[in-house]
Amino acid sequence: MRIFSEHDLSQLNTLGLPCVAEQFAEADSSDSLLAVLSEARNNAVTVLGGGSNLILPPYLHGMVVQPTMAERHFEPLANGGVRVRVGAGVNWHELVIAAASRGLWGIENLALIPGHCGAAPIQNIGAYGVELSDVLECVELVDIRTGKRVSIDADECEFGYRDSVFKRRLDSCVVITSITLRLSRRPQPRLGYGDLVERVGGSPSALDVAEAVGAVRREKLPDPRQLANAGSFFKNPLVSARQVQMLLSSYPDMPHYLQSDGRSKLAAGWMIDQCGLKGWREGHFGVHDRQALVLVHHGGGSAQELLDFSATVANEVNRRFGVTLEREPRLAGGGEAEWVN
């Protein structure tokens, strides 16, 4: 384990924001993680995964630790099930492709979601009708407060839409070291979103679905290696049945998706587009010209400029639709330890 001082994080976040960490270390095991946390003592700790869902300030005080645990273990179970235990530092998309290539079903719709596996439960990542909570069995973690290694099952994660206990009660308290998923060899394609059925045909393999989802995402979303971004910048808002009916009376073509609790999920990108903001640019930031849900960084900008730009977008949506947009990327450096994807 090496601890670096005044470490440049500009290449470790997909928004490409300039940032220097007071201290930085990688942890490739629970033991090395505990050593890092001991070194940090009572200083702020920021846990950095793949850097795909965060906004970095110019300077991060305290310790930034990046879990790099890379183990992958596939355990066959009865009735065609397979338990998959994977380290926090494994690239999520690589895991999806590895599982799909083995004929395992359950996470193929989550292909090409950026970031590391350790951050996946925090956001309860989801796409194309599937969420991590559908397949998660348990999460292994280290409690920052006590130094104890703990395992919690999926029910204890308190999952919601882009939400979990790691954003609330356990925020700033734990570091995820591995996750365990339960996948299946039995075909169970979920193709009800977008044009997946047309893309994969009648009897697709898990890999067929993963590759189709990846192709759709590449067509719609900019590659952060070419144009810096953090993926979807706003959550799709959930509104009451009464509010969605009021909106549909004025906007009958508005996309809306009924949820099990009676609320409806609206398409934030559609609303931003209706405000005429797709492709809009001001200063160093802009709204992507193919997917209005994505804000892009053209270089040279700061976190504060991005926050101001995003506030303008959200205010326009609120003015037109009366709907409040919530930011998806986490803002690092709030003075306490916090999770960032």
Range of the domain at 293: 236-325
Alpha carbons 198 and 142: distance in angstroms, whole number: 44
User: Predicted confidence band at 327 (pLDDT cuts at 50, 70, 90)?
Assistant: very high
- pLDDT given for residue 43 in this prediction: 83
Inside any domain, residue 242: yes
Q: Does 184 lie in the same domain as 242?
A: no
Q: Is the pLDDT of residue 249 over 80?
A: yes
Q: Is the pLDDT of residue 334 over 80?
A: no
Q: Is the pLDDT of residue 340 over 60?
A: no
DSSP code string of 32-65:
HHHHHHHHHTTS-EEEESSSSSEE--SEEEEEEE
- pLDDT given for residue 262 in this prediction: 94
Q: Does 285 lie in the same domain as 250?
A: yes
- Helical ranges in 15-137 per DSSP H: 30-40, 92-101, 120-123
Q: Does 63 lie in the same domain as 79?
A: no
What's the burial of 55, exposed, middle or buried (CB within 10 Å: 0-12/13-18/19+)? buried
Judge whether 162 counts as a catalytic residue.
yes
Inside any domain, residue 116: yes
Judge whether 232 counts as a catalytic residue.
yes
Q: Does 309 lie in the same domain as 269?
A: yes
Integer angstrom CA distances of residue 164 from 119, 131, 154, 262: 11, 12, 10, 20
- DSSP summary character for residue 235: P
Q: Does 85 lie in the same domain as 64?
A: no
List the one residue out of 106, 105, 86, 83 whose CA is nearest residue 95.
86
3-state secondary structure of 229: strand
Q: Does 177 lie in the same domain as 83?
A: yes
Average pLDDT over residues 12-39: 95
Inside any domain, residue 314: yes
User: Predicted confidence band at 339 (pLDDT cuts at 50, 70, 90)?
Assistant: very low
Domain boundary among 167, 190, 219: 219
Domain boundary among 54, 69, 84: 69
| 16 contacts: CB under 8 Å, gap ≥ 6 | 10, 224, 228, 297, 299
Inside any domain, residue 201: yes
**Contact between residue 108 and residue 90 where contact means Cβ atoms under 8 Å apart:** no
Integer angstrom CA distances of residue 47 from 152, 171, 209, 238, 319: 19, 11, 32, 29, 36
Q: Is the pLDDT of residue 287 over 70?
A: yes
pTM: 0.87
Q: Does 206 lie in the same domain as 82?
A: yes
Inside any domain, residue 19: yes
Inside any domain, residue 338: no
Q: What is the pLDDT of residues 193-237, one digit of tens each?
A: 778 888 998 889 999 999 999 999 999 889 999 999 998 999 999
**Which residue among the candidates 52, 131, 133, 162 is catalytic per the annotation?**
162
**Which residue among the candidates 26, 211, 328, 338 is catalytic per the annotation?**
328
CATH number, domain at 112?
3.30.465.10
Please state, rounded to an integer, the average pLDDT across all residues of the chain.
Answer: 93
**Contact between residue 250 and residue 260 where contact means Cβ atoms under 8 Å apart:** no
**Contact between residue 193 and residue 128 where contact means Cβ atoms under 8 Å apart:** yes
- pLDDT given for residue 336 in this prediction: 36
Q: Does 246 lie in the same domain as 209?
A: no
Alpha carbons 49 and 90: distance in angstroms, whole number: 9
Judge whether 328 counts as a catalytic residue.
yes
Contacts 24+ apart (CB under 8 A), 6-14: 7/64, 9/48, 9/51, 9/56, 9/60, 9/64, 12/48, 12/51, 12/66, 13/51, 13/52, 13/54, 13/56, 13/230, 14/50, 14/51, 14/52, 14/114, 14/224, 14/228, 14/229, 14/230, 14/231
Q: Does 183 lie in the same domain as 140?
A: yes
Alpha carbons 270 and 276: distance in angstroms, whole number: 10
Q: Does 63 lie in the same domain as 9?
A: yes
Domain boundary among 171, 186, 219: 219
**Which residue among the candidates 30, 164, 232, 264 is catalytic per the annotation?**
232
Q: Does 127 lie in the same domain as 81?
A: yes
Q: Does 275 lie in the same domain as 209?
A: no
Q: What is the pLDDT of residues 49-106, one digit of tens each?
A: 988 888 999 999 999 999 999 999 999 998 899 999 999 999 999 999 999 999 999 9
CATH number, domain at 303?
3.90.78.10
Inside any domain, residue 330: no
Total number of domains in the chain: 3
- pLDDT given for residue 1 in this prediction: 73
